[in-house]
Amino acid sequence: MVDDLIPAPAAGGRAASAPLLGRDTEPTLFELSEPGRSSWQLRTTGVPEIPLDELVPERHRRRLPLDLAEVSERDLVGHFTRLSHRQFSVDLGAYPLGSCTMKYNPKICDAVAALPGLADVHPAAPANCVQGWLELLVELEAALCEITGMTAATVQPAAGAAGELTGLLLMRAWHGARGDTRHKVVIPDSAHGTNPASVTLAGFDVVTVPSDGRGCVDVEALHAVLDEDVAGIMLTNPNTLGLFEEDIRAIADAVHGVGGLLYYDGANLNAILGIVRPGDMGFDIVHLNLHKTFATPHGGGGPGAGPVAVSERLAPFLPGPRPIRVGDASSPRYGWSTPERSIGRLHSWHGNALVLARALTYVLVHGSDGLRDVARLAVLNANWLRKRLSRSFDAPYDRPCMHECVLSASSLKRATGVKALDVAKRLLEEGFHAPTVYFPLIVDEALMIEPTETESLQTLEALAGALERIVADAATPEGALAATEAPHLTPVRRVDEARAARHLVPTFDARTS
């Protein structure tokens, strides 16, 4: 009998994952330092060598000698190269970290960001010296508006959380301009932690609405909390369970009905590119995570970019200065303009510009059809994994998902003592990055898996096979023990997080003091 949960292996190809090498600890830069060594070489300038004491008064001069590190260039390169060998990355292998959209980052985007005509431009140069940059930003804003179904955008926010706060300040300004002071913002219990944190910083109170048995916003419960003190609601759609909020129109009508606004958290936009747009669902404000959906590299935790797009009625409140097109279409010129009721500036300059250039490159390469295919294949990959793995793990919401699926190790833990965390650690030594674990908070022993569209069927099979092996091995006491002690084959073994917090050592100098 054919088991429909284990398809026949795909022909050809090879899984794109390999374990990390090397298990020796790397000394710090400070331990490599030897007095008298140096790497730096500076330009010969011919500027008169005025002594320091003629330049800076004594009371302003450094008293304690500055001690950084003294290493040769060769040692510097060796050090950081060895560190890089102790680091997993998308370029090395599959990174199915739910909610993070760790897709392949096309190299052309790096090449664009390195163009001197983009990278070496001073942000305060006069507008006539930065026409290319202004055009780039105007074009990106227009593309993001089309993708989200919005009217106008700002590219200043440097990351998703900054975009959230921007959107909430826009919400506050919009109500304020109507003489309406509102205090509450509604958030589902499945929301990312940045949502409630941003709500607090925007001066609102968080009202949490529960999810229903299907994993979506409980519409009845929502009605119960909606009143004229609600400034708006923040939603992620598909939500953090990877499920599409089918009742979104009813939710939008209900929130708009009490005079509130809808905020779209774009963390999961990858699932719906070119399929359905937040604007058409009824959202008023959208932030995008360009470092997720538009493949700009995450850089080990940043930089990101979190542009915010809004509907027409919110456009006058956008941050300024904004890049704008002036003059006629035949000979366009570009400049800056601050909207009349702008909430103000959000960034020292114009946002994470080189990230924005990468994102526009990604949009142009994909185009309309390519972006739609991104969503289709991301959703295909996630559903394939969900179905394949639903025999090995609990599926708390067992229905088709979008770009990611949330499974649970609850039964596994009960039967074997092996927790979601152990599954994650075991997977690391199989050569894959772990899924997101223990999020969303409403799922016990959650494993949140987002394969993205750039992983092949062979890689998905290898990932599923590894997870199935972990579950099978856990059935024996030795196997379960091995899982709870995993990983064994990574650059370091399981890291003692409790000790790090208890005996805080935040710098090299704190080791000895």
Partner 1 sequence: MSGYTPHTEADITSMLGFLGLSSLDDLFAVVPAALRLAGGLDLPGGLPEPDVFARMQDLAAANRPCGRDLVCFAGAGAYDHEVPPVTRALASRSEFVTSYTPYQPEVAQGVLQAVFEFQTLVTRLSGLAVSNASLYDGAASLVEAVNLAYGATGRQDVWVSHGVNPTWREVLATFAAGTGHRIHDVPLTDGITDWAATAFNDTDDPGAVVVSYPNYLGCLEDLAQARALCDRTGALLVVAFDPVCAGILRSPGEWGADVVVGEGQALGMPLSFGGPYLGLFACTMDHVRRLPGRLVGETVDAEGRRAYVTTLRAREQDIRREKATSNVCTNQTLMAVTAAVQLGWLGTSGMAEVALRSARGARYCRDGLLTVPGVEPLTTGPVVREFALRLPLDSAMVVERLADEGFLAGVALDPSYAQGRPDGLLVAVTERRTRAEIDAFVSTFEKAVR
Residues 243-282 that bind partner 1 (CB under 8 A): 243-244, 246, 248-249, 272-277, 280-281
Considering the rule CB under 8 A, would residue 483 count as an interface residue with partner 1? no
Q: How far is CA 330 from CA 2, 135, 255, 326, in A?
A: 64, 14, 43, 11
Residue 167 found at the interface with partner 1 (CB under 8 A): no
According to the binding rule CB under 8 A, does residue 209 interact with partner 1? no
Asked if residue 295 lies in contact with residue 106, where contact means CB atoms within 8 angstroms, the answer is yes
Of the pair 113, 415, the CB lying nearest partner 1 is at: 113
Q: How far is the CB of 224 from partner 1 (least distance, A)?
A: 20
- d(CA 267, CA 95) in angstroms, rounded, equals 16
Q: Helices 477-485 and 420-429: crossing angle, nearest 10°?
A: 80
Q: Given the rule CB under 8 A, which of 189-197, 220-228, 258-266, 389-397 is the region that contacts partner 1? A: 189-197
Name which of 294, 264, 259, 258 is nearest 279 in CA terms. Answer: 264
- Map the footprint of partner 1 across residues 325-354, applying CB under 8 A: 343-354
Neighbours of 4 (CB within 10 A): 9
Helix residue spans in 16-59 (DSSP H): 29-32, 52-55
Q: Which is nearer to partner 1, 305 or 471 (CB)?
A: 305
Task: Please state the three-class secondary structure of 245-274 as a single string.
Answer: CCCHHHHHHHHHHCCCEEEEEECCHHHCCC
Q: Which is nearer to partner 1, 81 or 337 (CB)?
A: 81
307 binds partner 1 (CB under 8 A): no
Closest approach, Cβ 414 to partner 1, in A, equals: 24
Contact between 383 and partner 1 by CB under 8 A: the answer reads: yes
d(CA 150, CA 348): 25
- CA-CA distance, 90 to 274, in Å (whole number)? 25
Segment contacting partner 1 by CB under 8 A, of 218-226, 308-316, 469-477, 491-499: 491-499
Q: Does 212 bind partner 1 (CB under 8 A)?
A: no
Question: Does residue 482 interact with partner 1 by CB under 8 A?
Answer: no
Residues 102-161 that bind partner 1 (CB under 8 A): 102-106, 108, 110-112, 115-126, 128-133, 135-136, 143, 146-147, 158-161
38 binds partner 1 (CB under 8 A): yes
Find the part of the chain contacting partner 1 (CB under 8 A) among 48-56, 225-233, 390-398, 410-418: 48-56
What does the H/E/C string look like for 355-395? HHHHHHHHHHHHHHHHHHHHHHHHHHHHHHHHHHHCCCCEC
Give the residue with the Cβ less far from partner 1, 91 or 312. 91
Question: Which residues within the stretch 68-97 sit at the binding site for partner 1 (CB under 8 A)?
Answer: 68-71, 73, 76-77, 79-81, 83-92, 95, 97
Name the residue nearer to partner 1 (CB basis): 334 or 393: 334
Contact stretch for partner 1 (CB under 8 A) within 257-265, 390-398, 442-450, 455-463: 455-463
Between CA 246 and CA 223 the distance in angstroms is 16
Q: How far apart are CA 414 and CA 86, in angstroms?
A: 34
Kind and range of the H or E run holding 423 = helix 420-429
Considering the rule CB under 8 A, would residue 398 count as an interface residue with partner 1?
Answer: no
